């Protein structure tokens, strides 16, 4: 197992290398001039050029790439072209809200989606099953931003139960932390929940047709035990795969949710960096997200061994 883990981590290196080259070139090929954006509307071409030189953007692209890679090897993600703050510092500042949102969304989605999916599979063809599927289709179809606005209108503006926007760190109080996360979590979690519920239902429904389930029922095993111990464990592999693949969905959703609810997270940092052509931040955040995604896939693959003892690395 350890050898497998080491092999997978080493395999991530060329992947990260490709990401580094690809993102570096892509942001520079895309139209837009960070020097012009920084200089502002009324800057003269001479002033814009001075800014370009000051930022090192006038150097040949291969020189810029060389400087970037050398810094990367030293663990330096560079400095924001706009604020001139280290990219690492900016990412660290914004990490907590994004991690909090991602974890709360995952927890919310998994805790609700799996029981719903199991219930739908258990009562396949019934009204409950249809209701869960309608919910799944609806949840997947509703635009995240639209749902966010709806929830803000209902629970913040009209009912005055929850805050409209912003983020409060858990260090400043657990209750305000949770209150500020509820609406963004539900907004983003609904999409994820819909996807997970469907996959869980399909997977559990297939397992419920198995001989060992029939045997367990015949032996008089309690239905809850049959569902959550025998069926779920055997249906877990596709569900866990979906959780891992859905992580990419989560990252995309985080960007929109953070904008709607004004959460100062990595998603907003990325959007702002793209609009402002802040190459350093775009490169840094993309690298981080790629690394985390690769790590999530590794964890998902390793978790298979927990659910299926036949899988060994």
**Positions in the binding site for another protein (CB under 8 A):** 31-33, 36-45, 47-48, 50-51, 53-55, 80, 82-85, 90, 93-94, 145, 149, 152-153, 156-157, 160, 163-166, 259-262, 264, 268-269, 271-272, 275-277
Which pair of tokens denotes residue 174? 């657990």
Whichever of 145 and 228 has its CB closer to another protein, that residue is 145
Spatial contact of 147 and 154, defined as CB atoms under 8 Å apart: no
Q: In sequence order, what DSSP letters do the residues of 141-173 get, joined into one string?
A: HS-HHHHHHHHIIIIIIIS--S-SS----GGG-
Q: What's CA 143's distance to the chain center, in Å?
A: 16
Smallest gap from Cβ 57 to another protein, in A, equals: 12
Whichever of 37 and 195 has its CB closer to another protein, that residue is 37
Query: Rounded distance, CA 57 to CA 51, Å?
Result: 9
Smallest gap from Cβ 144 to another protein, in A, equals: 12
The structure tokens 């858990």 sit at 170
Query: Rounded distance, CA 289 to CA 239, Å?
Result: 22
Smallest gap from Cβ 281 to another protein, in A, equals: 9
Q: What's CA 153's distance to the chain center, in Å?
A: 25
Query: Rounded distance, CA 14 to CA 17, Å?
Result: 5
Smallest gap from Cβ 145 to another protein, in A, equals: 8
Torsion of the alpha carbons at 131, 135, 138 and 144, rounded to the nearest 10: 170
Query: Rounded distance, CA 195 to CA 174, Å?
Result: 30
Spatial contact of 200 and 117, defined as CB atoms under 8 Å apart: yes
Smallest gap from Cβ 299 to another protein, in A, equals: 30
Smallest gap from Cβ 92 to another protein, in A, equals: 11
Smallest gap from Cβ 43 to another protein, in A, equals: 6
Beta bridge partners of 86: 79
Smallest gap from Cβ 274 to another protein, in A, equals: 9
Nearest CA among 260, 269, 266, 270 for reference residue 144? 260
Query: Rounded distance, CA 191 to CA 109, Å?
Result: 9
Whichever of 182 and 298 has its CB closer to another protein, that residue is 182
The set of residues, in sequence order, having a beta carbon less than 8 Å from that of 208 and lying 6+ positions away, is 121, 122, 124, 231
* Coil vs helix vs strand at 208: coil
């Amino acid at each position: 197992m350890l050898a497998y883990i080491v092999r997978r981590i080493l395999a991530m290196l060329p992947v990260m290398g490709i990401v580094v080259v690809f993102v570096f070139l892509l942001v520079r090929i895309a139209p837009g001039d960070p020097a012009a954006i920084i200089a502002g509307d009324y800057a003269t071409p001479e002033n814009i050029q001075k800014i370009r030189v000051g930022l090192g953007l006038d150097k040949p692209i291969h020189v810029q790439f060389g400087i970037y890679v050398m810094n990367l090897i030293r663990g330096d993600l560079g400095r924001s072209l706009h604020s001139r703050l280290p990219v690492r510092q900016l990412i660290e500042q914004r990490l907590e809200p994004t991690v909090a949102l991602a974890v709360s969304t995952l927890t919310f989605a998994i805790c609700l989606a799996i029981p719903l999916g199991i219930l739908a599979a258990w009562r396949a063809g019934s009204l409950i099953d249809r209701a869960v599927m309608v919910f799944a289709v609806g949840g997947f179809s509703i635009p995240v931003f639209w749902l966010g606005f709806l929830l803000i209108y209902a629970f913040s503006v009209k009912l005055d139960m929850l805050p409209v926007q912003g983020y409060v760190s858990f260090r400043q109080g657990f209750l305000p932390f949770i209150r500020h996360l509820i609406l963004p979590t539900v907004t983003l979690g609904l999409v994820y929940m819909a996807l997970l519920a469907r996959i869980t239902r399909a997977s559990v429904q297939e397992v419920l047709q198995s001989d060992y389930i029939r045997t367990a029922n015949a032996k008089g095993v309690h239905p809850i035990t049959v569902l959550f111990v025998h069926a779920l464990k055997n249906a877990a592999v596709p569900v866990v795969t979906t959780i891992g693949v859905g992580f990419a969905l989560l990252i995309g959703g985080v960007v929109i949710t953070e904008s709607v609810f004004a959460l100062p997270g990595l998603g907003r940092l990325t959007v702002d960096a793209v609009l402002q052509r802040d190459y350093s931040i775009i490169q840094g955040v993309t690298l981080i997200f790629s690394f985390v995604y690769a790590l999530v896939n590794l964890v998902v693959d390793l978790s298979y061994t927990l659910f299926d003892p036949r899988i060994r690395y």
